[in-house]
Amino acid sequence: MRIAMIGTGYVGLVSGVCFSDFGHDVVCVDKSEGKIARLERGEIPIYEPGLDLLLTRNVEAGRLSFTTDLTGAVDGADAVFIAVGTPTRRGDGHADLTYVMAAAEEIGRALTGYAVIVTKSTVPVGTNRKVREAVAAAAPEAEFDVASNPEFLREGAAIDDFMRPDRVVVGVETPRAAEVMEAIYRPLYLRDFPIVTTNLESAEMIKYAANAFLATKITFINEIAALCERVGADIKQVSKGIGMDGRIGNKFLHAGPGYGGSCFPKDTSALARIGQDHAMPMRITETVMQVNEGTKARMVEKLRDLCDGSFNGRTVAVLGVTFKPNTDDMREAPSLTIVPALVGGGARVRVVDPQGRREGEALLPGVAWHDDPYEAAQDADLLVVLTEWNEFRALDLGRIASAMATPRLADLRNVYSPEDAASAGFRSATFVGRAGFEA
């Protein structure tokens, strides 16, 4: 199959590279000449483990190329994927479809024969029908179908998610479109991975419902964690106990400082707006959004309490600022609430993150960046574990505590136990959903 992938952001680039590894001829398109030039040199604009090697392999095999020429890429393509951004629109919380509709119009003008136009971007219910209208308006004589093919890629594990998915969701309206999509995903069909074929609206809704549910699960366990702190329960034991129930499952039950990233915040916001527009308020989703913001604020207060009520004059070492490990993504990360509160309160903040500095330098002004956690902790008054990178899971806590001016620990990912911290020499520590201590 010949595929044109419009957009080389996270979803478009990962999908394009993986489709080429399926054996398809893939052309990735982006308006940014600088980004295309970097990709042609084999430089990856995002951090995703293994993506660089996969890209190089398929470029060398002649299956993968990059261009700014959308018209040339669409000419002769069997399928054209729209994988552009759908950020939250300023002012009303809706998904901004500006880039999607612009791409649809441009694709329509470029069509030279039958193609399936596939929306890979996360879009509100009804968008694919608007895409059809936009393409038809731009090219009244064009022969095409539209399809919805939402992505379910976890940052840091995207290649494995694409190659070994829990399911692939395909929304189509005609047998011809279904045949094209089946041919594209044939390697997965042959290995019996689940393929859910449905109509356009159901495919669009599946994406939003899945992300809203996962965000709800995270927020639920964070709220239970807050209650655990009040009643003396341990959230790790509680999570383990409820996660053994097959109806609940143990994933997304790790208490922390709140969810962030490119998907959950914008998708919950968009789903809430969709509900309001159709006079069917998504009250659970709306509450999840409110509780998540409250969770981030609660983390700030936990740190303030550990610093005897004031950040002023304190030196704070923060380990991890990306919204999760194995990514450089800072979008809606809890650090964007917590670190500015520290700086605004008068703290001297030192930050260590294996991949977060490139974006973080612009998003977190007023902090000092370090490469080594032990260096950052030297003479510090507080150590904060904010992202659970593997590099931070096996630290010599005794070495860190002895180097600090005032050995205080805020483990907001529950990487370590209170017993670990106490035996290492920390004078006080706080965790999420489990008892801290003061020596």
Report whether 396 belongs to an annotated binding site: no
The tokens of 245 are what? 């129930």
Query: Rounded to an integer, what distance in angstroms lies between the CA atom of residue 362 and that of residue 59?
Result: 33
Report whether 255 belongs to an annotated binding site: yes
Report whether 86 belongs to an annotated binding site: yes
Q: What is the DSSP string of 152-203?
A: -PPTTSHHHHHHS-S-EEEE-SSHHHHHHHHHHTHHHHHTT--EEEE-HHHH
Report whether 266 belongs to an annotated binding site: yes
Report whether 322 belongs to an annotated binding site: no
Q: Which residues pair with 79 in a beta bridge?
A: 3, 116
Report whether 283 belongs to an annotated binding site: no
Report whether 142 belongs to an annotated binding site: no
Query: Rounded to an integer, what distance in angstroms lies between the CA atom of residue 379 and that of residue 350?
Result: 11
Report whether 57 belongs to an annotated binding site: no
Q: Which of 18, 28, 263, 307 is catalytic?
A: 263
Query: Rounded to an integer, what distance in angstroms lies between the CA atom of residue 118 and that of residue 105?
Result: 14
DSSP class of residue 90 equals: T
Please report how many Cα atoms fall inside a 13 Å half-sphere around the Cα of residue 135, on the Cβ side. 29
Report whether 251 belongs to an annotated binding site: no
Report whether 240 belongs to an annotated binding site: no
Report whether 130 belongs to an annotated binding site: no
The whole-angstrom distance between residue 323's C-alpha and the CA centroid of its chain comes to: 8
Please name the residues in contact with 326: beta carbons below 8 A apart, sequence gap of 6 or more: 47, 49, 155, 156, 157, 389
18 is catalytic: no
Report whether 392 belongs to an annotated binding site: no
Question: Among residues 402, 414, 348, 346, which one has the least CA distance to residue 374?
Answer: 402
Q: Which residues pair with 40 in a beta bridge?
A: none
Report whether 30 belongs to an annotated binding site: yes
Report whether 230 belongs to an annotated binding site: no
Query: Rounded to an integer, what distance in angstroms lies between the CA atom of residue 67 and that of residue 74?
Result: 11
CB burial readout 410-436, b (16+ within 10 A) else e: bbbbbbbebebbbebebebbbbbbbeb
The tokens of 55 are what? 């890209």
Q: Which residues are catalytic?
A: 263
**Which residues contribute to the annotated binding site?**
30, 35, 86, 122, 152-155, 207, 252-256, 260, 266, 324, 331
**Which residues contribute to the annotated binding site for NAD(+)?**
30, 35, 86, 122, 155, 266, 331
**Which residues contribute to the annotated binding site for substrate?**
152-155, 207, 252-256, 260, 324
